[in-house]
Amino acid sequence: GVLLLSQVAPYLEQELNKRYNLFRLWDYPKKSHFLTQHGASIRAVVGRSTSGADSELIDALPNLEIISSSGVGVDKIDLIKCKEKGIRVTNTPDVLTDEVADLTIGLILALLRRICECDRYVRSGNWKRGDYKLTSKFSGKTVGIIGLGRIGTAIAKRAEEETHHIINREVISALGPKGFLINIGRGKHVDEPELISALLEGRLGGAGLDVFENEPHVPEELLGLENVVLLPHIGSATVETRTVMADLVLGNLEAHFLGKPLLTPFI
């Protein structure tokens, strides 16, 4: 059997259903009941970056061979446990890079040129009451990118938690009132309370956020701010990209069960 941990693109679920004996974890009100009843029959797990797979789940699936995850991030999968038990892990790298990079530029422009705020201004009829305030130019600005390329990943593997709260008070202060923070990676990279106080106190110009520390919770303080743009973790969420990601998830499972080399092994 294949266990689906959370909702994925309909296409992926349909294909999994056609090919395997598919169990959807959320169909079972009590996870523990499902695991006792069916745990031993599960050979593969499919999830997304946000669903992960912790050591408790892995231990409850004694015959698990592979975790095929839709998404590039594997930060919520207990990789040490997987290595110990010889469980393979695949993700969907590269195919979503364009999508996330495109949205990052979208977020930057939305934030600096205050596109969402301007839209609200027109809708509310305030345009008729006066001029809109001026915004910030993007062309020519310095852009700092903190990310996990091939080398960054190698470093992160050596030093776990290397990226936790990497954007702290010091970095935020360095950005300053004319600086903007975009987070399209992981919520935990940013010290959220520090970000909030910097925004409230005017020590940071603004923030464009696709991810949060405790999704889907978004801190109340952010909701009232005009100089933030808030997105519901949609970096890779287009029909085109999610379909290619789904094919990669399916391709990895198929390769595994045919005893062929995995297409995109993480471990």
Catalytic residues: 186, 215, 233
Strands, DSSP E only, in the chain? 2-4, 22-24, 44-48, 66-70, 88-90, 180-183, 206-209, 228-230
Cα–Cα distance, 182 to 148 (Å, whole number): 15
Q: What are the angstrom distances between the C-alpha of 104 and each of 60, 118, 165, 218?
A: 38, 19, 20, 19
- Quick one: 66 or 96, whose CB is closer to ligand 8YV? 96
Interface residues toward ligand 8YV, by CB under 6 A: 48-50, 70-73, 96, 233, 235-236
Between strands 66-70 and 88-90, the pairing is: parallel
* CB closer to ligand 8YV out of 71 and 208: 71
Residue 166 or residue 225: which is nearer to ligand 8YV going by CB?
166
Q: Is 258 left (phi over 0), alpha (psi -120 to 50) or beta?
A: alpha
* Least distance to ligand 8YV, CB of residue 49, Å: 3
Question: Up-side HSE of residue 20: CA atoms within 13 Å toward CB?
Answer: 21
Pick between residue 48 and residue 188 the one whose CB is nearest to ligand 8YV. Answer: 48
Q: Say how many residues make up the chain.
A: 267
Q: Are 195 and 168 contacting, i.e. CB atoms less than 8 angstroms apart?
A: no
Which residue lies nearer to ligand 8YV by CB, 204 or 262?
262
Q: CB neighbours of 180 closer than 8 A, spacing ≥ 6?
A: 108, 111, 112, 136, 204, 205, 206, 207, 208
Residue 79 near residue 71 (C-beta atoms within 8 A): no
CB of 201 vs ligand 8YV, minimal distance in Å: 30
